[in-house]
Amino acid sequence: MIKMLHVFLLLCVLLPMNAHAQNDKPGSSVLQNIPVQHEGRLKPLDSFAQIHLEQLSSQTSIGELSAMDWLALTLFDPQNAALIKVIRIENENVRHKMQLPDGQEFFNLEDLSKGVQQTQADVITLLEKPANTLSEDEKALISAHEKAATLIALMRSFSGTLPLNIQLPEKYAAQIAGPPSFMNLMEIEEKLQEDVKAIVLQKGANPANFSPEEAATAETGYNLQTLRMAGQTNKLLRVIPAAEENNEQWVSPWMAVLNREDSQAAEFLLSMWSDLAQSYRDNDTEQWDIIASELLTETKLQAATTIPEKRFAIERIYRTAKPYLWITLLYTAISIMALFSLKGSIAPALNKISAPLTGATIIAHASVIAARIYILDRPPVGTLYESILFVSVIAALAGLIMHIKKSNPLALFAGTFSALLLLLSAPFFEPDGDNLEVLVAVLNTGFWLTTHVLIITAGYGLCVIAAVLAHAALALKPEQAALRMTLQNNVYKLSLFALLFTAVGTVLGGIWADQSWGRFWGWDPKENGALLIVLWLIWVQHGRVSNRFKPPMFLALIACLNIVVAVSWFGVNLLNVGLHSYGFTSGMAEALLTFCVLETLLISALYWRHKKQQVAA
C-alpha cells in the first residue's frame, strides 16, 4: 500500500464531502462494541480504534477526542479528520527530510503530503532492502509513510459509499439513485467509461479539445477508475461478515462494494453503514443511536460464528484499565515498601502490610494474565512480552512464599523488585505487547508447547530472584552474617528449583519439537539458550558440591544467572536465525550488552568487597 501512497494522497481531493459542523458530534459509545476482524481475530471497534490511534500518535486520545471519537470522525467525516494532527514523527532527520515544520512532532495529512511525495521513491527503494540492514533513520522514514498510508486507508474506508465531492454531468446525475457516491455511480460506470472512450476516440487525449460537459465526463471517468484502484487495496476495516457460510474472512466496506453482486446481506449492512455515516454528518444523535444499535444486531446475525461478546467486554476493560501501567506502579510501591520494611522504625508496621499488599498485587497481576488467556483463547506465554509478564509474576510469587515461610522481608523485596525490573524492560523488548496478538501456526499448538513454555519461564523467574538474592547476600555487611547464612540457604534452594524447572522445561521443549518436527534436539539458538542456563546451574551446583566454589563464589556465580538468563532469553532473538524463528527483536543488542557489562562490574565489585571483608575479619 505504501507504494501507492502518492496516488492515495492525490485522491484526498475526492474525499467524501465535508460534514456541516465539527462540534456536538454524536457519541461514539454505541459503536464501540461493533465487531471488526483485525490481525486475525474479532475484536471490538473500540480496540481497533485504540490500536490505530496509538500506532499513529503514540497517544491514547487526541485532545478531547477519545480513540473511538477520533475513529468515528476519521471514518465518517474524513475531510475534517484530515486536519487533525494525529501522525507523530519523532525522528528529527526524517522531519527534516520530509521538510516538516520545526518544533513539532505531530502532523496532519496536509503537512505530510509534500514530504511523502518527495520521499516516495526513497521509501520504495528502502522496502527492497532486507529489514535488518536498515538504519534507524530509514526505519523511521518507512514508519512515517506507513502511518500516512494507514490514516488514508482509514479515512477512505467508506469512500465507496459516502457522497463524493465531485461535479457530475447532469445526464449521469439523473441516472443514479441518490447522491453521487462510488457505489451509486457503479450503476452507470460502464456506460460512462464507454462515453469517455468515445470522446477520446473522437477528440484525442488532450482535454483542451473537450467541451465542458465532455471534460466533466472524462474527469468523472478518471476519478472512478482511480477510486476503484485505491479501493481494491483498502482492506483494513473488516466490519462486514463474509457472504459464504463457514467463511471466517470478513470484508472491508470497499471489498463489499466491489463485490456487491456476491451478497445482498453485505449490501444491506453497507447501506446501514452509509445511513450511520449520514446521521453522523447530520449530527442526528437520535438516528445515530438507533442505526448503530441496529447495525450491531444485524452484524451479529450475519456473522458465521458467534460474536464473543463476553470476550469483547473483558477486552474493553483490559484496554481501558491499562493493566501494565497499574501493576508496574503497584510493584514500584510495594518494592519501596519492602525496602523500608528491612530496617528502621517503621519496618515492623510495614512488614505487617507488605505481604498482604504483595499478595493482592500478585492476584491483580495473575488476573491480567488470565484476562489475556480469556481474550485470546490460548495459553498465556506465546510472545516475548507475555513471557516477561509471566516470569515477573513467578519472581514475585517466589519472593512472597519465601517471606511467608521464613519471615524474610529481603526475599519479598528481591521478588517484587525483580518483577518490577522485568516489567520495566517489557516495553523495550516488545512495545506492542498489549496489542493482544494471535500466534503463527507453529506456536498455536497443543499441550507440549504450553507445558514447556510455562515451566521454562517459571524457571527463568526462579533464576532471576535467586540472582537478585545472591546480589543482596554479597552486599551484606560482616555483622549481618546470620542473615547472609539464611540468604545463602535460600539462594541454594532457589537455584535447585531453578535447575528443576529450566532442565525439565528444556527437555519438554525437545519433546514439543519431536512432536512438531520429528526431532528432539536441533541445536537451534533458542534451544541452545535454554540449555546454557541448565549447564550453568549444573556447573555451579557441581562446583559447590565438590567444594571448588566457596560460598562467596557460589553466590557470585548465581548472581551471574541474571546475565545468563538475559542472554539466553533475549539475546538469542538478536541472531535472527533458527528453526523456530519467532519473537525476534532488533536494536536491543546495545541495551543487552550494556546490561551484561554493568552486571559483571557490579557482581565483581560486590564479590571483591566481600572477599576483602572476609580477609579483614
The nearest distance, CB 449 to another protein, in angstroms, is 8
Alpha carbons 240 and 273: distance in angstroms, whole number = 10
Nearest one of 475, 473, 471, 477 to 487, comparing CA atoms = 473
Q: Compute the distance between CA of residue 262 and CA of residue 243 in angstroms, rounded to an integer.
A: 7
* CB-nearer residue toward another protein: 40 or 478: 40
**C-beta pairs of 471-478 under 8 Å, 24+ apart in sequence:** 471/559, 471/602, 471/603, 471/606, 472/410, 472/413, 472/414, 473/555, 474/552, 474/555, 474/556, 474/559, 474/603, 474/606, 474/607, 474/609, 474/610, 475/606, 477/613, 478/613, 478/614, 478/616, 478/617
Smallest separation (angstroms) from another protein to the CB of 239: 11
Q: Contact 59/42 with Cβ under 8 angstroms?
A: no
* 470 CB neighbour count, 10 Å cutoff: 29
CB of 249 to another protein, least distance (A): 5
Dihedral sign, CA of 219, 222, 224, 227? negative
Least Å distance, CB 568 to another protein, is 10
Q: Output 75 or 530, the one with its CB closest to another protein.
A: 530
- Our CB check for another protein shows the closer of 96 and 519 to be 519
Closest CA to 219 of 155, 169, 269: 169
DSSP state of 179: S
Cell output for 141: 522514514
**In angstroms, what is the minimal distance from the CB of 488 to another protein?**
5
Shortest distance (Å) from residue 392 CB to another protein: 22
Enumerate the β-bridge partners of residue 88: 106
- What is the phi/psi pair of residue 284, to 5°? -95, 90
Shortest Cβ 1–another protein spacing (Å): 14
Closer to another protein at the Cβ: 121 or 485? 485
Least distance between another protein and beta carbon 548 (Å): 6
Query: Which of residues 183 and 532 has its CB atom nearest to another protein in the complex?
Result: 532
The minimum distance between CB 515 and another protein, in angstroms, equals 5
Which of 385/554 has CB closer to another protein? 554
DSSP 49-101: HHHHHHHHHSSSEETTEEHHHHHHHHHH-HHHHTTS--EE---HHHHHHTTPP
Q: In angstroms, rounded to a whole number, what is the distance separating the alpha carbons of residues 198 and 205?
A: 11
Closer of 217 and 568 to another protein (Cβ): 568
Instruction: Choose between 79 and 450: whose C-beta lies nearer to another protein.
Output: 450
Q: Smaller CB distance to another protein: residue 332 or 613?
A: 613
